[in-house]
Structures are given as C-alpha cells and as structure tokens.
Amino acid sequence: MTRHIPADEQLYTGIKHIEFMGKKEYASTPEGATAIEEVKAALACPPNASIAGSSSLRGIPIGLWLYNDLYESNNKIGHWIFNTFAQSPVLISKVNPELRARVATNVLSYYGYFNGRASANIITNKRNSKKAAVAYEITLNEPYRYDSIAYLNFPKGIDSLLTATKESSLLKKGAQFSVMNLNGERERINNMLRNNGYYYCQTNYIKFLADTINSPGKVSLRIEPNKDFTAKVERPWKIGNTTLQITGNRQAGGARRVKNDTIRRRNLTYIYNGSKPPVKAGAILSNTFLRKGQLYSQERQQLSLQRLTLLNIFNSVNFAFTPREDSDTIDMRITAQLDKPYDFTFELNATSKSNSQIGPGTKISLSRNNIFRGGETFKLSLQGSYEWQTDKRMQGKQSVINSWEIGADASLSFPRLFLPIVHRRYLRFPATTLIRLYADQMNRSGFFRMVHFGGEISYRIFEKRNTTHSVTPFRLTYDMLQSTTTKFDSIAANNRSIANSFRNQFIPAMQYTYTYDNAKSHHRHKSWVELSATSSGNITSLFFMAFGKDWNKKNKEIFNNPYAQFAKLTVETRQLYRLTTKSHIATRFFIGAIKSYGNSSTAPYSEQFYIGGANSLRAFTVRSIGPGSYHPKEDSRYSYLDETGTFKMEANVEYRFPLFGDIYGALFVDAGNVWLLEKDNSRPGGEFRFDSFAKQIALNTGAGIRYDLEFLVLRLDFGIAIHAPYDTGKKGYYNIPSFGKGFAWHFAIGYPF
C-alpha cells in the first residue's frame, strides 16, 4: 500500500488517540463540552478506508489497493477502474497535524481557555516507516470568567431598550468567557433593535472591548456602539405607504410583454400584469403584518415573508424599504413573481419477491395553484397498484391477477383558517384549511371487492418553523364490501375477527397530529417526529347517550349502518446523522396501537396495522408477517386477510454512503412485527406478550443502490431475511430455510425514510 508514497512522505493511518489534560472540572461547563467537541472536529481527518467517516477506525482499503496496483496501468479497463474506484493515499503532509493543533489551540481560546494548548505527535509505524498515525494532547487550564459587564455610550432610546431587556442578556457576571456568547449577545441586541423600529441597525453596530490583563483569569467587558455609523442607524423608523407589484411567471408568459395596470387605495399602490389582478390584494395584505404608522419590525417582516411564501403561488417574494427625506418614515415595496399555475407529479414503484409475488404501483397528481386568486390550491390525484402471481403452480385464471387497487383523491386547500370563532387577524401562526374527498377500491381476486370512500376537513397550524399541528375535527369514511366469493365467506365464517373487520360500516373520526421537522434548519443532524391520535365514534356515541342509549351497547347505527368506535395512537421518529458531507446514518422507529370498544369488537380492516414491503421490512412482502408468531399454512392464499394487527412496532437503521458520481450505496437492518392486543383463538400466537414479543420480532438486513438526481432518487434494495417470527421448521435464531426463500428485491422512487 505504500510503494507509490513519495520518499519524503508517510501514509496517514488515522488518529491514534486524543488525550485531554487538566482537571475534569475545567471541562464540565457547557462551554467546555462544546469546546471539546469542536476541538475533536478540528483534529478529525479520516484516513483511507475510514469506517463511517471515523478518524481512527479503518476497514479494508480496497481503493488504496487499486491505486497501488493500477497506478501505472496503460490498459483501458485498468485505467477506467483506477479513475472510478481507486483512492489516492492520504498523506501526513496533507493532514498537517501541526496546523490542526494550532487551530485547536485557537478553538480553546474561543471558549475562554486562553492558557490552553494543543500539540501533535507523529507516531511512525514500527513495521513500516512509510506509515504513521497522529496522537494529540490537549491541555485545558482554568477558563477565564467575566468579572464585569458594562453597556456604555448608547443613545438614550437604545439604552432604555438595553436596560429593559437586561435579564435576557446572554452575558452574565461570573460566567465562562465565550466568543460564541459574545456573537449571540450581538445578535440578540441587533434583533431587539430591529424589532423596535431600528431598520438600519446591523450586527457590526455593536463592538466589544475585553480586558484580560488587569485581573488574571478574569475578563472586564465593555459593550459599545461602533461610532462609524450614520445617525439613521440610531433612529427608529415607522412604516409609510405600501407598493405591491406582482409580476407574471416567465415560463408561463414567455417573451410576451403584458401591459402593467395599477390600483390605488389609500396607502396601497397595487401594480400588476394583465386585465385583472392575478392575486386579490386582500390575500396579500391579510398575510402582511407591517402596517402604516407602526414601528418597523424585523420579526413581522419575516412572518409576512413566511405567510406569503406559504401561499404557494409565488416563485419569489422580496421586501424593500425606502426612507423619506427629512422624516422618520420608510415606505415599503413588496415585489412578488408568480409561480407556475400547474404542478404535475408522477410516482412509480415496483416490488418483487422470491415467492413469485410482484407488485408495481403508480400515482399521478395534478395541482392548480391560486385557483380563486386567493392562494387556494386544487389538487387531483389518481393512484393504482396491483400484484400478480407468476408461479406456474397456481391454478385458474383468478391466480393471474391476485389483487389490484385504484383510487382517486380531490382536495381544496385555503391559506387560512375557516373557523367562525377565530378571526385570522388574531391568529399568530400561519394556518391552512383542507377540504378533501377520496375513494379507493380494492380487489382481491377470488375473495372480495371492497370500496373505501369519504371526506374530511382539516386544519394545519404552523406554530414554528419546525413545528406543525394538524387538526381534523371531522372525517367520515364508509367501508363497503361490494362482493365476496364462497371461499372468502367460508374464511369469514370461521374467523369472527375477519368478518367484523370487513363489515359495512361508517368511520366517523377526529384526529390530531403533531409534527416536528428540522430538515430545513442548519443543524448537523436532522430530526423528524410525528405523534398522531385518532378517535372514532366517540362523539357519535355521545349523541346516542344524550337520547338515552347505552355507551357500551353494540350495533348502534347511523343511516342504517353500524359505525366504528376505536382509539388509535401512533408515534414515529426519524433521525438523520451526518457523518461526512455525503455519508449518513438514517434511523426510524414506529410504534402504534388501536383499541376498539363500545360499538366495535374489531377495528376496521383499513385502520389495522401491517408490516413488510419496500419501505418497511425489505426481506418480506407486505402483510406477510404477524400477528406475533402466527403464520398461515404454506398452501394458504389469504394471508393478507389475517396478517394484520392492532399493535405495531418497527425499527430501521440505514447507512448511506457515496460510491461514485451520483451513485450511492446503502446497508440496512430492519426489524419489527404486528401483534393483537386481545387474544384471537383463530390466530394462535398473535397476542402481544412481554415475555415473548422479543422472539417474535422479524429481522432482516440488506444492501441497496441509489441513483440521486437531486430532484429524483431511484432506489433498488435487496433484502435478506435473518429471522422469521414463526416456525419455519429450522431451529436457531437464523431460521430461514434457504437463502432463496428469504431474499427480496424492491425498486422504488425516493428514500424509504
């Protein structure tokens, strides 16, 4: 591996160790913990064949072997392999340990360790002098702390604001010195001033003067204004007149020029293209929170930008402010460019398994934006999927197409709340209202045909940038079994749970969903959490109680059909940990439960949990696992009927890494199952029990390839089963009878999570 290393160079084999010297209490503060983390980041440098981006763990250096073997190759194939897969050696000179140690020393000073230091020691390999590792020693001496903090020489108005917000200052006497806190305090002051009318204030308006000489180990700090700024920086400004200009979408309008028209209303000048305004002025102004006569506020400007962006009708939105001469007033100009009026999406996925089941599916969606010129969006979606059996041993024409599913979904969303009791002027957070109608028909060849249709009204409230609340006060769904076969009827007769879950029934439900998503933030690691709670039939049963009927009485009906009554709770969390710029570890955990009571003895089939497939257990097909250790006989052709459950738990881990170009690889592990919360004699072993559920968790591993086109990700996954939760006839934890029976491949679009 070192024969092509230059004579005066050494191959870097990673960090041998990083040793921290000094008393433990010196690093026990939050600043100390952050300093250590950033020091490690400054020293980090992965060697060849690094494992998951580690600076000390190495795998098999295949890329380095290819580099050495094909370095002088003149063969076309060898040259291609070299350019594609070979990895250049990481040299000690490129790592530059001494420079990294100096950077680490500066990091220590950044967090108050002015007497701290970092040093590097190159350790040559005893067996091969062309290889070397690096050991670092970090000394943490006692950090400096603030002795005095003074805000001096500010104008009267700004000084009053500083005094009023003194308790929220990030700088406290006795706290550890940190440049991070200085920058945070500068940002706090700047935001406070800009939210109180000081439009022209900038972060470099504030300067810090620190004295660390008079008292060793202590910092005397002065915060003062920078005198280089003009007088308009130290003056609060009020909002004047507003000009709104809407320009057309370039792609829609092409090179054709359209004459501008103008509407003037008191303090508003509205400039637009065409014969009539493309967006109602009220839709813009109701989402703009800077009013004439009010002090300028950066927070209200950002909220206005957020609200206008959430209308989903503009490609860009810009705010500009112009001061009036000899006045404390600034006029506001909002310039927005319309986005494309139509959006079209097409999704395609396909799965296949060694048991001859294959199942492609597709979804087509068309959206019309700004349909009523108020930011409304109408969306129509059509989706379909089917599975067929390719095994020639199957008999009869019904086996050629085992199942298909087709559905339609129409929705109309409004960028505001339709709630009579809440006026949008008093709603602090952005919100939308969604009215939706949907229908879905499912056909299981040789068994049944079922239709599932309904409608809902839901509200989404965007509390913060990362937090969303979704409330569905009304959802009514009707499940109707259109037709059945003699075979299905015999199955239902022997299994009461299946019969009840497939009955014709209404599902009147209410739902609340909380979502946290920091994907658009600057955090190194991304998090997504969703908590959802659904209640069905409870409000309906309250009406029955009001008229004297028993809450727990069965077979209560609306419109001559029974209705479902249950409570459902699900929690799902996804984490994306960034190891390097292009390599990540993605995790997902899901847990959910549904409990039927009152008017229902079994949850509707459409509400029950199932597991398996391209985005779940990737070595098992959909509805082929569970509940618990229950598994239909091999000759059974209706497993999807009863391999559902009322409790689900699933976990996934996936390591994503670059291969070459836009091609990425993945290694994954999936685990999970579904169970029954109540015992079912027709499905022995399906009940959830704490003393046995661990053995009933299905486990698989696998690998995948992704082609990342930025706007589209094509995915091919190969799943390998390790443990099935049922009796396969083979003993031991690895109980898969043969590799072929535990292997599956899935082609899909997008990441699984």
Q: Are 717 and 704 in contact (CB under 8 A)?
A: yes
CATH number, domain at 211? 3.10.20.310
- The Cα 100–Cα 107 span in angstroms is 10
Q: Encode pLDDT of 328-387 as tens digits.
A: 999 999 999 999 999 888 876 655 443 334 456 788 999 999 999 988 999 999 988 776
Q: Encode pLDDT of 472-517 as tens digits.
A: 999 999 989 888 888 888 878 877 777 778 888 888 999 999 999 9
User: Could you tell me whether strands 329-338 and 238-247 are parallel, antiparallel, or unpaired per DSSP bridges?
Assistant: parallel
What is the DSSP annotation of 239-305? EEEEEEEEE--HHHHTT----EEEEEETTEEEEEESSS-SS-HHHHHTT----TTSBP-HHHHHHHH
Find the mean pLDDT for residues 681-707.
92
Q: Are residues 369 and 427 in the same domain?
A: yes
State the pLDDT at residue 593.
96
Q: Which residues pair with 261 in a beta bridge?
A: 272
Place of tokens 């701290």: 116
Determine the 3-state secondary structure of 185 from DSSP: helix
Q: Are 307 and 288 in contact (CB under 8 A)?
A: yes
State the pLDDT at residue 428.
63
State the pLDDT at residue 641.
65
The type of residue at 588 is R
Task: Identify the CA nearest to 4 among candidates 64, 76, 47, 82.
Answer: 64
φ/ψ of 594, rounded to 5, equals -135, 135
The least confident of 31-45, 233-247, 490-504 is 490-504
Find the mean pLDDT for residues 90-115.
94
Residue 399 included in any domain: yes
The HSE-up count of residue 265 (CA atoms within 13 Å, CB side) is: 7
Q: Give strand ranges (E) for 339-466.
A: 342-353, 357-369, 377-389, 401-414, 431-444, 448-461
- The Cα 600–Cα 591 span in angstroms is 23
- As given in the structure block, the two tokens for residue 445 are 């060849």
The HSE-up count of residue 688 (CA atoms within 13 Å, CB side) is: 17
Residue 38 included in any domain: yes
Which run of H or E residues covers position 234?
none
Q: Are residues 126 and 108 in the same domain?
A: yes
The least confident of 27-41, 449-463, 561-575, 737-751 is 737-751
Task: Identify the CA nearest to 527 among candidates 578, 593, 570.
Answer: 578
Residue 689 included in any domain: no
For residue 266, give its domain range: 238-338
- Quick check: 545 pLDDT over 80? no
Q: Are residues 380 and 273 in the same domain?
A: no
> ∠ CA(736), CA(741), CA(747), 5° rounding?
120
Task: Identify the CA nearest to 550 among candidates 599, 486, 591, 596.
Answer: 599
Task: Identify the CA nearest to 622 among candidates 403, 445, 441.
Answer: 403
Q: Which residues pair with 379 in a beta bridge?
A: 367, 411
Q: Encode pLDDT of 584-635 as tens digits.
A: 999 999 999 999 988 888 888 888 998 888 889 999 877 788 899 988 765 5
User: Which alpha helices (DSSP H) does 290-350 contain, by range?
Assistant: 298-310
The torsion of the CA quartet 290, 296, 298, 299, rounded to 10 degrees, works out to: -50
Find the mean pLDDT for residues 42-56.
89
Output the pTM of the full model. 0.69
User: Could you tell me whether strands 647-660 and 584-596 are parallel, antiparallel, or unpaired per DSSP bridges?
Assistant: antiparallel
- The Cα 401–Cα 396 span in angstroms is 10
Count of structural domains, the chain: 4
- The Cα 508–Cα 536 span in angstroms is 5
Residue 456 included in any domain: no
- As given in the structure block, the two tokens for residue 471 are 């409330």
Q: Are residues 266 and 155 in the same domain?
A: no
Residue 373 included in any domain: yes
> CA 234 from chain center: how many Å?
42
State the pLDDT at residue 639.
52
Q: Are residues 25 and 131 in the same domain?
A: yes
State the pLDDT at residue 359.
55
Q: How many C-beta atoms surround the C-beta of residue 119 within 10 A?
A: 15
What sign results for the dihedral spanned by CA atoms 676, 698, 525, 28? positive
State the pLDDT at residue 427.
58
Rg of the chain over Cα atoms, rounded to whole angstroms, equals 33
Q: pLDDT class for 724, splitting at 50, 70, 90?
A: very high
Residue 583 contacts by C-beta under 8 Å, 6 or more apart in sequence? 52, 53, 655, 656, 657, 658
Q: Pick the last residue of a domain from 183, 210, 234.
A: 234
Find the mean pLDDT for residues 691-702.
93
CA distances from 555 to 6, 450, 474, 550 (A): 85, 21, 22, 11
State the pLDDT at residue 250.
57
Q: pLDDT class for 398, splitting at 50, 70, 90?
A: very low
Q: Are residues 201 and 99 in the same domain?
A: no
Place of tokens 């603030």: 146
Q: Are residues 62 and 167 in the same domain?
A: no
Determine the 3-state secondary structure of 50 from DSSP: strand
Task: Identify the CA nearest to 621 among candidates 471, 712, 744.
Answer: 744
Query: What angle do helix axes 97-110 and 30-43 make, rounded to 10 degrees?
Result: 160
Q: Which residues pair with 591 in a beta bridge?
A: 571, 649
φ/ψ of 445, rounded to 5, equals -55, 130
Q: How many C-beta atoms surround the C-beta of residue 92 within 10 A?
A: 19
The least confident of 314-323, 368-377, 546-555, 564-573 is 546-555
- Give buried/exposed letters for 334-372 (b at 16+ CB in 10 A, else e): bbbebbeeeeeeeeebbbbbbbebebebebeeebebbbe
Q: Are residues 252 and 224 in the same domain?
A: no
Place of tokens 């599913």: 405
Q: Encode pLDDT of 156-214 as tens digits.
A: 999 999 999 999 999 999 999 999 999 999 999 999 999 999 999 999 999 999 998 88
Q: Are residues 22 and 129 in the same domain?
A: yes
With 0-12 / 13-18 / 19 or more C-beta atoms within 10 angstroms meaning exposed / middle / buried, residue 19 is: exposed
Q: Are residues 331 and 368 in the same domain?
A: no
Q: Pick the last residue of a domain from 139, 160, 181.
A: 139
Q: pLDDT class for 421, splitting at 50, 70, 90?
A: low
Which run of H or E residues covers position 557?
strand 557-558
Q: In the chain, pLDDT over 90 holds for what percent of residues?
A: 48
- Quick check: 261 pLDDT over 50? yes
Find the mean pLDDT for residues 8-21.
92
- The Cα 290–Cα 301 span in angstroms is 7
- The chain-wide mean pLDDT, for the chain, equals 86
Q: Are 42 and 107 in contact (CB under 8 A)?
A: yes
With 0-12 / 13-18 / 19 or more C-beta atoms within 10 angstroms meaning exposed / middle / buried, residue 654 is: buried
Q: pLDDT class for 388, splitting at 50, 70, 90?
A: low
State the pLDDT at residue 354.
37
Determine the 3-state secondary structure of 101 from DSSP: helix
Residue 371 included in any domain: yes
- As given in the structure block, the two tokens for residue 583 are 């390599």
Residue 626 included in any domain: no
DSSP letter (8 states) at residue 563: B
Q: How far apart are the two ends of the chain, measured CA to CA in Å?
A: 39
Q: In the chain, pLDDT over 70 holds for what percent of residues?
A: 90
pLDDT top residue among 76 and 238: 238
- The Cα 692–Cα 11 span in angstroms is 52
Q: Pick the last residue of a domain from 139, 156, 181.
A: 139
The least confident of 263-267, 318-322, 331-335, 674-678 is 263-267
DSSP letter (8 states) at residue 706: E
Q: Are residues 69 and 98 in the same domain?
A: yes
Measured in residues, the chain has a length of 753
Residue 380 included in any domain: yes
Q: Are residues 97 and 157 in the same domain?
A: no
Find the mean pLDDT for residues 298-311.
89
The least confident of 1-15, 491-505, 640-654 is 491-505
The least confident of 236-250, 627-641, 705-719 is 627-641
